[in-house]
Structure formats: C-alpha cells, structure tokens
Amino acid sequence: MITQAIFNVIFGLFKLLLFWLPDVTALPTFLGVNLDTIFSTGMGYFNRIVYFFPPLASILTAALVYLGIKLTLTLLKMVLGHRAPHIT
C-alpha cells in the first residue's frame, strides 16, 4: 500500500503538470506526407508478410534489439562525454 501510494502520488503529479499539453493521437503530416498513414500501412504490409513468413519478425526484432543497445550506448556517450566508458 505504501509503494502504491507513492506511485499514485508520482503519477498524479505528472498528470497535474502535463494536463495542459495536448494528447498525441497520430503522427504529424510533414511536407504533405502523412507519416502516420505511411507507417501504419507499412507495418500492415510487414505484418501481412510476417504472417506468411514468421522468421521475418524475428529478424526485425533482432535488428531492433541491436540498434536499441547501440542507441543506448550512443546516448550514454553523448551525455557523459569524455567521462563515458571506453566501451561506448
């Protein structure tokens, strides 16, 4: 209950602070290109192909995991600068 109460307070504060910001329901249109439609349709095609050939989903997941970790290391290096570990 105590932990739950802390969570409730934190999330409540977030909501209070951000209430004036608009909700995002779709990606914006950029230079006449509706990014939301493009991404949605693209993922629709991809999911359709994945249904027929499931390994594609694993390949995409593997690529996203790899890029995600690389992105994390890159961000770490940007934030820490020269203090970043060599592995970044």
Partner 1 sequence: MKKILFTIIGLLFFFSAGTALAASPVLPSIYQSGNWYLTDATGAIVSCPTGPPQSWEEFYNDVSISAPMSFSCVAPPWLDASNLNATFFGNGNQVGDRLRYEFWTGTSQGGTNMGHVEIVKLFSGYGTITATTTTHFTSIEISTTTQDFRLQGYISPNDENVNIIFNVSTPLYSQWDHGSFAATTTGFFDLSIPYQNFSTSTIDIFTFTGTLLTPSTDPFYATVPPTIYDTISTTTTSSGIGVTHIPTPNETITAVASNCNPFNSFFSISGCVSYLFFPDTQAAANNVAFLRDNILVKFPLGYFTRFYTILSGHSTTTIPAISYTWANDGGPLAGKTLAFNVDDYMVQAKGLTEEMVSNTDHKTVYDIFMPFINLFLAIVVFYNLIEDIMGVPLSGVQRGRAEGAKINDKGGVGNKSYGPNRGDFNQSKT
Contact residues for partner 1, defined by CB under 8 A: 1-4, 7-8, 11, 14-15, 18, 21-28, 36, 39-41, 43-45, 47-49, 51-56, 58-59, 61-62, 65-66, 69-70, 73, 86-87
Minimum Å gap between C-beta 6 and partner 1 is 10
Nearest of 24, 28, 44 to residue 36 by alpha carbon: 28
* Location of structure tokens 């570990």: 85
- Identity of the residue, 21 or 31, whose beta carbon is nearer to partner 1 in the bound complex: 21
* Residue closer to partner 1 (CB basis): 27 or 80: 27
DSSP letters of 60-82? HHHHHHHHHHHHHHHHHHHHHGG
Q: Please name which of 27, 31, 50, 49 lies closest in space to residue 39, comparing C-alpha atoms.
A: 27
For tokens 């909700």, name the residue: 23
- Compute the least distance from the CB of residue 25 to partner 1, in Å: 7
Rounded to a whole number of angstroms, the minimum distance from the CB of residue 72 to partner 1 is: 11
